[in-house]
Chains A and B, each alone.
Chain A
């Protein structure tokens, strides 16, 4: 293990740092001059890019954390252990980004602590707020277990190790609750959100998709990390994870059809409107296509195939959230909304910080799985003796 902290700066990383810096300046301007000065939000479109994308999608994309925790730590499917820590890390960073974007988005940010004390428990937002705050804390503690492997403070490490089981359970229950209640937030939009997306079981669709998105997201991250660090991607792990995703996609699709038929709005999907076309794209390109790609071994077992299908799943969930927040609301909301340059800059900056934080942690903490000897000798030559292949 390394002795000093290291973070090598490459041109790409300078760009990321630059974007983060710009975002900090814009964020300051937003705090001083208010939301109206910086965003294109309006009474018709009270929620925009920051809530729709950074919060809703950020949290959904962080779904890899809880689905992997469930598979690895509760079901003890240990062949997936190599990806567990990377999933936890992205999830943790994703949640911190979501909390920051929430702080930026709320008008009276000086009151951000109030909901902890004045319990509007009849509000969906109450559940979302508490679960996200608690879950972020849980993830920080889970990560503490890794942190203290590097920063050796034995007593703390010991306490955390003992607390791991309840933390793990909480770390699955809390996201299950708030991933679904992010969907429940939209129950209030009855008669305004297009019935292709509005449903009393929208919480189910949200939590289910956040869960099946997990393995796909892990695949994408793993591939990117492997490329960045010149390592071999864990293709066989990704390929075997696709079974989970595929079955969950199939269930999602069936429930969606039953739901539409039950509410008698099935025909709306084919009425040729903009909304119906967006809905069809969502279903065909982002649900059915990945199901078939995962079902065919010749595609599933190649790195190319598993990554493409996973990318479709990930983009599909983002597409779905965008449809709920924007497409489905457009007709009833009236007016129009497109994020201002400042909103884009903040979003870009936040995701740059996410990338930088990921890179720093992966380079300084034991997150990724040890490589086999052959590759080890190819790369550096630092002595890693116990590089037993755990994938086997």
Chain B
């Protein structure tokens, strides 16, 4: 019963109603943006902008295509931020939302170490840099609305049907139906497998790499394994190393001890006499 949103990039006209809806519903302060010579402002998600619409100009067969891509938290099935956090400040809910400071109990465990920001493959968690005691901020899939059976604010605001909210499984099926019935689509659902799969799914008629959704990094396909599963591959050895290495060291220590009685630590050292250090440094 995990929810998701299907984003059809080919349908987006870049009106940015979703951004306005997000700000309104979540009570996020407006920011004064500087003039930039594009349609991107503010360009990237940050603490006060949980969703942004980026524009991309794609040249294809001597044709110039404008494409707009709504970006927000992808709500990974196995979120890197959740596994990275050592105070349980992130949670993947049953409904599919990945939320920060999720429960009543867990309002203020975050220490602000920002490892979640290092861990997120999509660069989503953002920090309140201007606050003395900042929180991490990001899209929470309108979890409050979701629990009441409502669509996320951004989805309700979309006038073109770019965004569709529903069960992730059903959306995935629909995505493939659309792709298979129209040869213009790229044969890939972004978010189906990337980093173990995400609740938000994208389909597009232009290559994903040209609209900011990475399918390759340094010439290799992006990971289909989730980031938590990668770190767990290493972390799971911790207790064995602790016990095993400790046992080896203890054994070594006794094995080589035969020469140890000879010395008394304290007698070979001295405090440096300060009179000596005339030409100190």
Q: Which residues of A contact B (CB under 8 A)?
A: 1-2, 6-8, 10, 12-13, 31-37, 41-44, 46-47, 70, 73-76, 78, 81-82, 85, 105-112, 114-115, 118-120, 122-127, 129, 145-146, 149-150, 165, 168-170, 172-173, 176-177, 181, 184-185, 187-192, 194-195, 200, 203, 227-231, 265, 268, 332, 362-370, 379-380, 382, 384, 386, 388, 390
Contact = CB atoms under 8 A, between A and B. Distances in A.
A122 B214 contact: no
23 contacts: A7-B274, A8-B274, A43-B129, A81-B265, A109-B111, A120-B88, A122-B232, A125-B115, A129-B86, A165-B253, A169-B249, A172-B249, A176-B241, A177-B241, A185-B115, A185-B118, A189-B118, A189-B119, A191-B214, A191-B220, A200-B230, A363-B277, A369-B268
B173 interface: no
Given A107-B113, A114-B111, 13 more contacts: A1-B270, A46-B118, A107-B128, A107-B131, A115-B111, A123-B84, A173-B246, A188-B118, A191-B222, A229-B277, A368-B269, A368-B270, A379-B276
Contact of A184 (B235, B265, B279): B235
Contacts of A268: 218
Interface string B242-273: 10011001101100110110110111111111
A343 to B, nearest CB: 14
A1 B271 contact: yes
A332 B106 CA distance: 32
B218 A228 contact: no
Contacts of B260: 76, 78
Contacts of A76: 253, 256-257, 259-260
A173 B271 contact: no
Contacts of A195: 218, 220
B277 to A, nearest CB: 5
A36 B114 CA distance: 13
Contact of A8 (B80, B268, B277): B277
B220 to A, nearest CB: 7
Contacts of A190: 121, 223, 227, 230
Contact of B272 (A170, A184, A362, A388): A362
B1 interface: no
B44 A43 contact: yes
Contacts of B112: 106-109, 111
Interface in B114-157: 114-115, 117-119, 121, 123, 126-135
Contacts of B256: 74-76
B281 interface: yes
Interface string B204-218: 000000000010011
Given A12-B281, A43-B123, A195-B218, A115 B86 contact: yes
A386 B267 contact: yes
A380 B235 contact: no
A369 B265 CA distance: 10
A368 B274 CA distance: 13
Contact of A111 (B85, B108, B117, B262): B108
Contact of A33 (B86, B121, B132): B132
**A-B CB proximity, top 9 nearest:** A107-B112, A36-B129, A366-B269, A191-B217, A46-B114, A120-B86, A123-B86, A126-B86, A188-B119
Contacts of A126: 86
B253 A43 contact: no
Interface of B: 44, 46-47, 80, 83-88, 106, 108-115, 117-119, 121, 123, 126-135, 214, 217-218, 220, 222-223, 227-228, 230-235, 238, 241-242, 245-246, 249-250, 252-253, 256-257, 259-260, 262-263, 265-281
A52 to B, nearest CB: 11
B235 A368 contact: no
A370 B86 contact: no
B215 to A, nearest CB: 10
Contacts of A200: 230, 233-234
Contact of A35 (B129, B245, B263): B129
A64 to B, nearest CB: 17
A366 B230 CA distance: 47
Contacts of A118: 87-88, 106, 109
Contacts of A106: 111-113
Contacts of A362: 271-272
Nearest to A105: B113
A43 B117 contact: yes
A177 B242 contact: yes
Contacts of B80: 188
A321 B232 CA distance: 23
Given A43-B46, A125-B113, A187 B234 contact: yes
Nearest to B47: A43
Contacts of B238: 127, 177, 181
A230 B235 contact: no
B170 to A, nearest CB: 29
